[in-house]
Amino acid sequence: MNTRELLIKATDFLAGMGITPQSQEQQEFLDVIFDALLFIESTGQTYVFEDYRKHLVSDDPPRVVASFNTREEADSWLSELPDPPSSAYILVADQYHHLIYIRDKNHRRLFPHPVLEYYLGTRMREGLPPPKASFATRGEAEAWLQGQTSPPRQAVIQISGESYLAVYHPNINHRSIYPFSIAARVEAPEG
């Protein structure tokens, strides 16, 4: 079933549940759910939503919405954007930053965020696969990644004997190489 059909069936499912809200607050919760489903369809976000759902079940690094070479470029983009996302990750010099926008106050802010370090830590805890390729220098690795016509979403590689994660961010057509040496220590979940 495609995403458009799934959204229609989800809306029908909710409507057919015959839920009678016990309070105004519960009615508002139901309205928000219906509105969110209708928003996805009516604003042409069906495929974006489909990609988002695929990303949720993937083992890919955290999703980013933009990439910039410098902080100045990112700040300029954010200040000129008429309607920024309320919250999202962006890359600045291939480092994850969290974007926060509060519309009522026109507050726009970027700050470094350790989400990638935790992601890499989890990958290390789970065990890394054998490297897909090995390189003597980072330049060789970057040339290899940029030269891929169909880049892997992610691949463990080695540069001078150290493990790295080569990543393709398809929604922004950006390629990055992250050293596992920056990984945060992540404990196994209890239970």
Which residue ranges make up each domain of the chain? 3-57, 128-182
- The SS3 of residue 175 is strand
- CA atoms of 42 and 44, how far apart (whole Å): 6
Judge if pTM exceeds 0.85: no
Q: Is 64:110 a contact under the CB 8 Å cutoff? A: no
| Per-residue pLDDT reduced to its tens digit, 20-72 | 778 899 888 888 888 888 888 888 888 888 988 888 888 899 999 999 999 99
